[in-house]
Structures are given as structure tokens and as C-alpha cells.
Chains A and B, each alone.
Chain A
Amino acid sequence: MSEKEKALLAITMGDAAGSGPEIITKALAEPEVRKLCRPVVIGDAAAMKEAFTFTKVAGEVRAIDKLADARFQDGIVDVIDLHNIELDKLTRGKVDTMAGKAAYEYIKLGTELALAGEADAIVTSAINKEALNNAGYHYDGHTQLLAELCGVKDVAMMLVTGSLRVSHVSTHVSLRDAIERTRPPRILTVLKLTEEAVKQMGIAEPKIAVAGLNPHSGEGGLFGDEEIKYIAPAIEQAKSQGMNVVGPLPPDSAFLRAYEGQFDAAVAMYHDQGHIAVKMLGITFGVNVTLGLPIIRTSVDHGTNFGKAGKGTADPTSLIEAIKLAGVMVQNRKRPTG
């Protein structure tokens, strides 16, 4: 791959009070990451410089003002410097309003660059919701914020861990609300978004499992009828549109079967249904992908890890996987395989 063919990824620094900056120094020191993409960090150059001193990773920061100034040299991290962290005022390892405000600004710029086509995709580091809210940005997390910045409504969260891809009909709502959201239009939307994303991940003809809502998938209506009334009809609609969809399957086997390779993705009806399955595999290498945006966005699947902030010990695996997945998705978007 020539230098220009490599995906240009805007990597947001995340919450400066957490481990995000340190994780970035480690991830961008990986040769496989550099081989795959041209990374630019959107963050605060001073915070990134300090992160290098924590992790003792060999490398340096080059502060730039705009994307066009990035040079993508090995060992050097190009940082679009928003100058929004005052290190002497930062309370590391704790909820910090300044860091919350800064994190918002990185995401906003990253999204704008991706929407403008200057960056091929955005890869986000962990943010702290409380800090974000304290700074006056009232979102329940990245997904909602990105949807708003992009001006779209029908988004869905997919978690990718190794061979297991799980997308969610609903995420950040109570269980009672989640049950009410399992209706055919939404299920069909998530199925379409899932198929599209899996294709972008390099699978030409995705086979998708749909979990039921109730135990044993309702067992013929004995333990609930949402499968009969809503989920099965949505699956039929998807099939009639040419999709390869199987279900509703008992939730306790749908994700296992997907993980074992019987399906390319599985659709969960609510947050914990999908998250329980994915997290049992270990969260260190999980990736979070937002479906339905006009841009490609992947993210780490862990929190800000305040406990490890400043210690240099945070694990970069999830970010490395998020970068690799964004790279793959960008390549498949550039060269659609059908």
C-alpha cells in the first residue's frame, strides 16, 4: 500500500484526565498500525508530550495547526493542537470539567474533518460522561453526540471482539424502554445497518443472526410474545429484501453461535444482552463501532481508566484494534467489493 492509499485516521485524544493520551503513544508506536494507516491525533500537544514521559515510549510529538501539516513519520505523533488542557490545572484520575470540554472539542473537530472528507475515518478514545455533562454537553455518550454532529437519527452500536460482531437494537435506555423499542421498523433498520457494516468489514455476503428478546426466544409465546409479534415479522421483511438473516434465536445461543463462526454478526435486542456476550470474551481487545453515520467511526471499548492515569500501564490493545478495523472499513469503502 502506498503512503497515499493508507487510511487517514483522525484519532481523538479523549479525556485528558484518563489513560487515553498514554494509550495513544503506545498504539501509534506499533509498526502494524503505521503500516495500515496515516494517524493524526486531535488533542492537546502538551498533554500528549507528557503522556510520552509516563509510558516511556520512544517517540515525540509534533504539534500542528491543521491536518494538511501532518507528515505521518514513524516515531513522531502529529497532534492537531487545540491548546485546551492546562496541565497544571488538570486533576488526573478524576472527573475534570476542563478535560470534559476538551474531549468534546476533539470529537467535534474529528467529525468535521471526516464529514469534509479530509480524514477517512475517526477513531475515538474514551471520554468521561460526567465530565462531558459538567462541561455543559448533555449527551449519554459518543454515539448520541456523533449522531447529532452528523445530523442523523438512525444509528446503532456494534461491538466487535475478534470474530464476534454484535449490534444493538437499543443501548442506553432502561430495560423497560428497551422492550418497547423492539419493534419491526427499528429492528429492520438495525439489520440493514449491520449488513452494511459487516460488508465494509470485508464480508461480501453477511449471514446475520437475530436474538429473541425473551428466555428461550419466547418458547412459542409461552415466555413472551415479542418474538412472534415483532421480531419474526422484521426478519421476514429483511429476508424479502434479500438479506441472509436467521432468527429469532434463543439469546443464550445466538451470540455463541455467531462467535463460533456460524454467523458474521448477531443483533441484540437490548444493551446487556449483547454486552454480556461480548464482555465474557474479555474487553481488552473489543472495538465499538457506530453504525448509521455518514462517516466511519470506531472506538475503544473501555472507559477512561482513571485508575491507571499517569502510570503508563494502560493497555492499548483496544485502540490498536479500533484503528485496524477503521483501516479495513476505509479500504472496503474505497474499493467496494459489492
Chain B
Amino acid sequence: MHTSGHTHRASRTLTGLVGLVATGILLTGCATAESPEATEPVIGGTLTYASGDAEPTCLDPHVGGNYPQALVSTQYLESLVSRDADGAIIPWLAESWTESADGLAWDFTLAADVSFTDGTPLDAAAVQANIAHLQDPETGSSTGYLALAKVTGTEAVSANVVRLVLSQPDSALLESLSQPWLAIESPTALARSQDENCAAPVGTGPFRVESWVQQESITLVRNDDYSSPPEDAAHTGPAYLDSIVWRFIPDSASRYAALQSGDVDVIDNAQPDTIVQAEKSDTIVHLDAPRPGASNRIELNSGRAPFNDPLVREAFIRSANVDDAVTSLFQGTADRSYSALSSAETLAVSRPDLFDYDPEAASDLLDSAGWTERDSGGYRVKDGERLTVDFPVSTNQSIPAEQSLFEQIQATAKETGFEVVLSPMDLSSWYTALGENDYDAVSAPYTKVGPDVLRILFHSDGIIPAPSGYFANHSQVNDPAIDALLTEAGQVTDADERAALYTDAQNKVLEGFHILPLFDQQNHYLLGTDVVGARALPTVSTPTFYDAWLK
């Protein structure tokens, strides 16, 4: 596919130097795909990326705001701030920022001489237009809208200083703003109709959207005037690649086959067995980038029987042999998690002691909870009711290995007497099942930068039933003590105090046996060895091809 530009090697003058810098930085980078070589980057070429995620219906991540949008928009949109590999917030489109003493006003000084690819300059008014766009119900923003919940207004302090005014202090504001769903777009472009903006959003990124043929591919071409790489990028100036062809190959077997045959250069959502194969081969490289936010976990619905009884929740968790399952199914490509948060989060609390596989203890717990009898199927019974766990599985959101993991949990929990009913369903039916409180256990990804995700997942405000039907507190944790901790943690400005509050809250959630952590929400990218310098942005682990080039 990338035949067009291998030989195109213009403007070599800068690249020698840049290449040296690049390899130096790449050596220290943590999520770097390619073992660095002292070769100079080749300018030109077309990289073909094959995504297993659903094709976005709108390329502007302000609209809705899901992961597939984040993946592709990382190539052409940029945010005010970013994160480095250690989780610290670093400047991007905003050069610097200050928070007022009461925490209710934040001033962002914007980088100088940055323009959107339509020529509109980046200034305070542009940022104001973006915040307004995100908060406008007509936009239909979800992720960005929620992240800006505490922002009540904006002011242009000067041409390049913008102020965000808050109703309450927000310790997660910078983390929220670093996400691709809150990227800054050209105000001129935002003024177009939503359809036009969805088809080709305009940002400041290293590439711009050239064309989008729905159900086929998105073509991105280099932004030759690019001037705003984040601090942790490997070079400055325009990107090396001429263009990126972004394709959607939903079937995992054909996606991997296309990488093997060289028809595509990079794939995402790689299956564990193909990762193992790739790691053995010398033609494919594995790039592992755990997503931030929540770990991959099973949420136990404490809002209805049988999991409203903490003893039954603990019994279920003790009866599930997750360690062996993760080992056999993920074949070393994923580690078991004992935390509510992703290992990418520095504040994650890990409690291996709470999640031992112990069927005997589980039996005792069920006995003391009153589930003493067994029926002919070997399942526990109480008052004539079988101990049944309804577990809807979204086939769009769970990879096959994950579904097999649920099957193994089903098999081990059966020995203790749980009947786990796995029901695979499409996304719409799955949302409906959740909205109707028709589930006992569920596994849902939630990606957000920073520990503030805990508030979304475990604060009682996140329990139904808003008229929308969607809610994120699937385990239906309703504990005033946890609410208080999370609310306070969202407001304190002192880092240590914040860490202590989040640690307390996590311990309470884990000790209440509301969730069964499984492993980190993975992002596995596989790259052909001709791709050099690709990395995952440490914000939400989307890949960036700004530093990438083709051998």
C-alpha cells in the first residue's frame, strides 16, 4: 500500500540532526515500538493503519466522544496540555497556566505562532469557541461535556491568554483537558454545519483530514506548516510521512493477515495469540500501551439481589479463578490486575490480598449468607431461588479472549454453586439491559485520564436513572463515605492530600467487593518492522505517527 513515497527524500538537511535527537529520546521512552537504530528518518511514504474499532460516525471527537474517534483524531487534533510517560502534565497548545488561589479560575497562556490548518490563528477566542462548542447541547458531546461539568464560563484575558471560570475547584481539570475529546479545533471550521465539521475537522496537528470515504478509509496528509509538537516528541517541524491511510478491518483474523502480508503497516486490537506469534517473528513489532483510567474489571451490581449482599459478592470473587485464566488466555501479554485503576495511573491502589482464588472460603461465605442448599444442577438455592448471575456481554466491546475469560470464570464459579448466565449482545441491546437494571455482573471499559474516573464509576450520582438511561456506576456503589471522599478529592489542590483521599476511596471500593479486577484495559498495537518511531501518547494511549517514518 505504501508504494508512493519510499523514494521521496526531499529536505534532508534537517533530518540528520533530528534523527539523532529522535533516537536519543526514543531510547528513554517507555512505550516505544522500535528498538532505535542510528539511521536517519526517511521523509515521505504512506502508512496504512488498520483499526479493529468501529468506524466513527463523526471525525470530530467533540461530538459524542468515544475511543475510535480518539484514535484517529490524535493524528490531526491537539489538546491544550499533554502527559509525559511518568504521568506528569506537560505543555502542548498551552505554554503555561496558573490556577487562582481559590481554584475557581485557570489562566492558560497559549503557544505563540500556532495556526490551524485552515490558516486561522490559535488564540484565546479560539479556545473560547471550543469550550462553547463542547458545552452546546446541539453538539451532542458526551465525554467532553462531562469533563467540563465544573466550567461555567470563559474569558479572553488577552489575545493569547484564556481564562476558564469554575463553579468549584477541579483537581482533574488539567487531566481532563489533556484528552483528545477536548482537543482544540479551528473556530472557523466549527462555525460550519455539524455535517461538514464531522467530515473534516480542522486542527493544529501534524496531519490534516484530506478525505473520508465512509466504510472504506480516511486519508490524512502531512501538515507542512506544523509547529506545535508536545514537549516529549522526538523531533520538531513537520511529520516525516506524506500521508496516512486509516482503514477499518473489523475482523481480527483478516486484520492480522493483512499485517502479515504487508498490506497494512500498523494494526490495533491485536489478539493475544497473534501478539505471541508476532513477538516470535522478526517482521512484526509489538507496542503495548495500557489505557489510563479504570482497569478492566467485572462490576457486581450491588443494587439488586443476589449481589446486594456483600457476603455473596465476596463469595463470587473468591470463587473465580482469574489468575489461571489470564495466564492461559493472554499468554503473558497482560498482567492480572488487583486494582480499580489502570496501572498507567500513579495513584492506583493494588490489593492482591483481597482477590485470592479460594473456593472453600467462597463456600463458607455462601453458607453464612443463607445459600445453603444445592439443586440437581449443583447450583446454590435459597428460598427456592437459584443463585443466578446475569452477565450481559457486549460483543462489540469484548475481544474473544476476554469472552473466553468470562467463560472460565463461569466454569470456576459453578463449582462453588453460582450459575453465571453469559448473554452476548450487540451494543444497543447491552445499553438497554444496563438501563433496565437487568444485570448482576457486567464488564465495561472506561477510559479517562487521571483518578477522577473513580468519581464517575463509584459516586452515587453515577447510579441511574437519569432520563438518558446511561450511567457509569454499574456496580451501583451507594456509600456516603465513598461519595464524600471522591467529592473532596475532586476539589483539593494539594497533591498529597488528593492522593490520600483517592487511596482511601479505592480501598473502600475494593474492600466492599464491588468489583473483580481482571487486567489493564490493553491497547496492543502491532507494527511492521518498516515502521520506525511510532509511539503511544501517554494521555489515553492513542498512537501518534508524528515521529514515525518508513524504512
Q: Do A and B bind each other?
A: no
